[in-house]
């Protein structure tokens, strides 16, 4: 391959799935032909009952797994054409992840937790720490740089996780039930941060089973039995999300 991450095409889509199927060992068909395109700058909720294929979809979009058939293009890269090493590079550069569990390293300061997330981008140490401090500032934790996870509230820990996910300015942020472990006030804080990131141009996909969060997102993609059964559509992201969540996040 000539280009380090070959197969790049410029285009409006950060995520492009065409006819994606995923069959797990044992024959479970988790995705049964999914077409989904997410444009730059959208804030989309992926919703659906347990077992509908949301996590599988997130894993494929996050390039943590490959489809059984169909094509997955992320930030213009055809995942099928990339080696595992190239996929790691793509993840480090183009994707940020936030999970329900915060996945912070214990005993390590907030600053280092975020800075270490940039290790695989090849950024020099000093620049990593500067970017980490700026990202923590962005999530309102500029005064907590030296705190370790056990010295932070759940909401603060999730904000550190968001800072880690966006410190490298990835074009796409994937969040899997990001408020699932938080009390409602902390959940609203995290959503406010996501709203701010969306306003500054980050594309965000949130997996959620929370109807209030889904309603708050400008776009909703509804899944059932491995298929997209309803989609408010690309471009519906033009409506900015309301500043304050109507119901409290659960
Ligand atoms: P959701 O996130 O909507 O709950 P999942 O993507 O986790 O849905 O699961 C979709 C289907 O795929 C379910 O039937 C689930 O049991 C199955 N599944 C998920 N992961 C695996 C796996 N690693 N091996 C086998 N089956 C799996």
Q: What is the mean pLDDT of residues 136-145?
A: 96
d(CA 23, CA 191): 33
Domain boundaries, the chain: 13-231
pLDDT of residue 245: 55
pLDDT of residue 197: 92
- Least confident segment among 26-40, 67-81, 117-131, 225-239: 225-239
95 contacts 167 by C-beta, under 8 angstroms:
no
Cα 62 to chain centroid, rounded: 8
Q: What percent of the chain has pLDDT over 90?
A: 82
Backbone torsions φ then ψ of 47, nearest 5 degrees: -125, 160
Minimum-distance ligand 1 atom for the alpha carbon of 22: 12
CATH number of 13-231: 3.40.50.300
pTM metric for this prediction: 0.90
Which residue has the least CA distance to atom 23 on ligand 1? 24
d(CA 188, CA 148): 23
- Residue 8 pLDDT more than 60? no
pLDDT of residue 3: 37
pLDDT of residue 236: 55
pLDDT band at 249 (very low <50, low <70, confident <90, very high): very low
pLDDT band at 209 (very low <50, low <70, confident <90, very high): confident
Give the distance (Å) from ligand 1 centre to CA of residue 28.
8
Determine the residue of 22, 28, 205, 225 to mutate for testing ligand 1's pocket, defined as the one with the most ligand atoms within 8 A of the Cβ atom. 28
pLDDT band at 244 (very low <50, low <70, confident <90, very high): low
pLDDT band at 120 (very low <50, low <70, confident <90, very high): confident
218 contacts 238 by C-beta, under 8 angstroms:
yes
Q: Is 51 in the pocket of ligand 1 (CB under 6 A)?
A: yes
- Residue 1 pLDDT more than 90? no
Q: What is the mean pLDDT of residues 3-21?
A: 73
d(CA 177, CA 207): 6
- Least confident segment among 47-56, 211-220, 235-244: 235-244
Q: What is the mean pLDDT of residues 182-191?
A: 92
Strand ranges (E), the chain: 13-23, 29-39, 43-47, 69-74, 77-78, 95-98, 172-176, 203-207, 219-224, 227-231
Q: Is 68 in the pocket of ligand 1 (CB under 6 A)?
A: no
Q: Is 52 in the pocket of ligand 1 (CB under 6 A)?
A: yes
Q: Please work out, in degrees rounded to the nearest 5, the angle formed at the alpha carbon of residue 67 by the alpha carbons of 95 and 203.
A: 25
Q: Is 100 in the pocket of ligand 1 (CB under 6 A)?
A: no
pLDDT of residue 121: 85
Minimum-distance ligand 1 atom for the alpha carbon of 226: 10
Which residue has the least CA distance to atom 25 on ligand 1? 24
Instruction: Give the side-chain half-sphere CA count within 13 A for 165.
Output: 30
pLDDT of residue 233: 79
Mean residue pLDDT of the chain comes to 90
């Amino acid at each position: 391959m000539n280009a380090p991450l070959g197969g790049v095409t410029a285009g409006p889509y950060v995520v492009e799935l065409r006819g994606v199927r995923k069959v797990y060992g044992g024959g479970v068909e988790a995705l049964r032909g999914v077409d989904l395109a997410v444009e730059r700058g959208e804030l989309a909720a992926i919703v659906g009952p347990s077992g509908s294929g949301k996590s599988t979809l997130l894993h494929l979009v996050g390039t943590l797994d490959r489809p059984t058939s169909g094509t997955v293009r992320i930030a213009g890269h055809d995942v099928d054409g990339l080696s595992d090493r190239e996929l790691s590079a793509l993840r480090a550069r183009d994707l940020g992840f936030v999970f329900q569990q915060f996945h912070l390293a214990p005993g390590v300061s907030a600053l280092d937790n975020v800075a270490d997330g940039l290790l695989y981008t090849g950024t020099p140490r000093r620049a990593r720490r500067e970017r980490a401090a700026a990202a923590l500032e962005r999530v309102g934790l500029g005064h907590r740089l030296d705190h370790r996870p056990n010295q932070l509230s759940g909401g603060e820990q999730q904000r550190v996780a968001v800072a880690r996910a966006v410190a490298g300015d990835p074009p796409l942020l994937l969040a899997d039930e990001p408020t699932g472990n938080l009390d409602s006030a902390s959940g609203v804080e995290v959503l406010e941060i996501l709203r701010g990131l969306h306003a500054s141009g980050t594309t965000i996909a949130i997996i959620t089973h929370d109807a209030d969060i889904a309603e708050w997102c400008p776009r909703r993609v509804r899944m059932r039995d491995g298929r997209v059964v309803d989609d408010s559509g690309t471009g519906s992201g033009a409506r900015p999300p309301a500043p304050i969540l109507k119901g409290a996040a659960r």
